Amino acid sequence: MSGVVHVEITGQNVAETAKFYEQVFGFTAEPSPFVSNYTLLSGPDGPLGAVMSRAYQTQPVIVWFSVDDIEGALDAVQAAGGSRRGSINSIPGQGRVAYAADINGTVFGIREPQSSA
- Phi, psi (rounded to 5 degrees) for 58: -95, -15
Q: Is pLDDT of 117 > 80? A: no
Query: pTM of the prediction?
Result: 0.81
Tell whether 71 and 57 lie within a shared domain. Answer: no
Contact in structure between 51 and 17 (CB atoms under 8 Å): yes
Q: Which of 98, 93, 87 lies closest to 114 in space, CA to CA?
A: 93
Contact in structure between 56 and 109 (CB atoms under 8 Å): no
Domain boundary among the residues 61, 82, 104 is at 61
In this structure, what is the dihedral angle of CA atoms 34, 91, 54, 62, given to the nearest 10 degrees? -150
Instruction: Tell me how many domains the chain contains.
Output: 2
CATH number of 84's domain: 3.10.180.10
- The residue-averaged pLDDT of 51-80 equals 94
Give the chain's length.
117
Q: Is pLDDT of 17 > 70? A: yes
Q: Which of 63, 68, 115, 110 lies closest to 88 in space, CA to CA?
A: 110
Residue 104: pLDDT band (50, 70, 90) is: confident
Tell whether 53 and 84 lie within a shared domain. Answer: no
Contact in structure between 99 and 57 (CB atoms under 8 Å): yes
